[in-house]
Chain A
Amino acid sequence: MTLLDVENLWVKFPSRQGVFDAVRGVSFTLGRERLGIVGESGSGKSMTGRAILRLIRPPGIVTADQISLEGDDLMLKSERQMRDVRGQRISMVMQDPKFSLNPVMTIGQQIIEAYRLHNKARKSEAYAKSLEMLEAVSIRDPERVMRAYPHEMSGGMGQRIMIAMMLIPNPEILIADEPTSALDVSVQRQVLSIIDKLVTDRGMGLIFISHDLNLVADFCDRVLIMYSGRIVEVCDADKLHDAQHPYTRGLLNSLPRLDAPCDKLQVLSRDPAWSEAPSVSARL
């Protein structure tokens, strides 16, 4: 079943040196699955995520043949109608919880606000619901956390709180933009397994944006590899290590490995043809 269908998405930024294309003709579909988007910084992966939520502000320009959420074209919606989509139907977890939580509101106030914005509910009901959600992201004493401010939380806890806040309106799609790159290796796994459990339990679609190839190979079902605004390759995540495109191979080979020591790491040599080749469609 297709939740989201994106066709020929472009993101452009006018600059003094002419128009810069950040995303160039990307097409993909998302079902009830975990879709990974990988690439280096500047490859347009975050821009793709933001464009879906129509979060790109002028002077940035977004064009697409369609971005349809269960048959509903998001490109045709007004800003007001988009507000009902954001959070309620598609929500997004950003990279660093330090910048995405409000520093002057308690955690409780923020989660309750997120819930009451999309559901008509009494405060007491919203409070109970928030506690339940914090427990779902394995926070040990949710009552204390509800009263705490973001600066009193560690990075891993902050990210779990963000996930709780984003999932409390029960969206159909979660876009996770590098949700674990600000976290420690040991905490990373924990946060990922929480995302995984919630996404599977609720039958949501997940777009997982990351620069970490091994993480994506482990965690997702299908992977899009982006280079300079285009999709260069689509493959099943478990077959990522047999990827064909020289760019993907280059990225994989440049990783140091514990099981295969070498004197020199392979360095990626870029072929200008990669950025010229048309985008591979990932529509099913």
Chain B
Amino acid sequence: MTNLDHGKFTRVTTLFHSLLALDVFLLFFTGYAIMFNSELWWMVTLMGGATGVTALHRAAGLGLVALIVFWMVLMVISPTGRSNFREILPRKADVDAFLQDVQFMLGRTDERHPHARQFAGYESDEVPLLSYVGKGVVFIFAVELLLLTISGLLIWSKTGLMQYFATRTAAMAFVIFHGLLGVIMVMGVMFHIFEHGMHPAFYPVETKAFIPRSMIPESHGEDDDHEGTGIEALELAPSWHSVSTIFGSLVVVGIVSVLMGSIVREGYPVPRELVVSGDVTNLLLTIGINIGMFVLFVGIVLSMYGNVMRVRWEKEMQQRQREGETVADGGEPQTDD
């Protein structure tokens, strides 16, 4: 049996995921500190004021161009990349998986579709490389990152940008356009953090994005007689109920606030239309957007924790392989020969 619950991707992919996450988080923190500067004034100050925050945003932007071009080239020139491309194309099973997930949420079916399963357990062989949510994340993030990079490069030189637009206001409007483009992604990342942090079987983080597949031991033909995924055998973490409830609420507040903020505070120097907003809405928006930033911060911490788990796992594997030790279920020591 292959055990894809703990490691699924190559070492290059997991490392790329961590680097991309770090870079995108830095872009979010700097970019939205600029866009929501009324609500996130302390972040602007913390990152060196307007000069510091824009310099950091540009440095991270440079890193993003390098990372996405690296990935696109690797996908084209390597056989692994080309063969994986077929794996991420949407299929009918993905639509079925979404519909079955709705049924599962409503209690009308007992299992999630294999294309939706994050924890597959004894039925790991049925799950594809990416779930339907994973495919959606890849496609939406790819389009968003491409558009954000192109529009970001156009904004790089402000005087250069202005000559392409009739007025300074129009040039600023293009900067707003760039900020609004990222809103889908910032909301998506909050969901991504919830999805991969709060699954009861993996809480507090799914390791498959951090531990490469090549480091996951596999067994053969021992688990064929089990029914279902075997999630019943796992023990729920004592803190799961309270933490998932609190964090889920924070994610919802964060998403709603960033969305409201993007509509209310679109930041034109000359507003397109009068916006009715008083002290209470300002206060709620300030709290909500800061909660959204906290959710992103939790994401960066979980990403770090995933990498700490990988290092621990690596050490443990090396030690056990050196000792040729067997586990309690009676497995035989095997060598690569």
Report if A and B associate in a common complex: no
B residues with a Cβ closer than 8 A to A are none
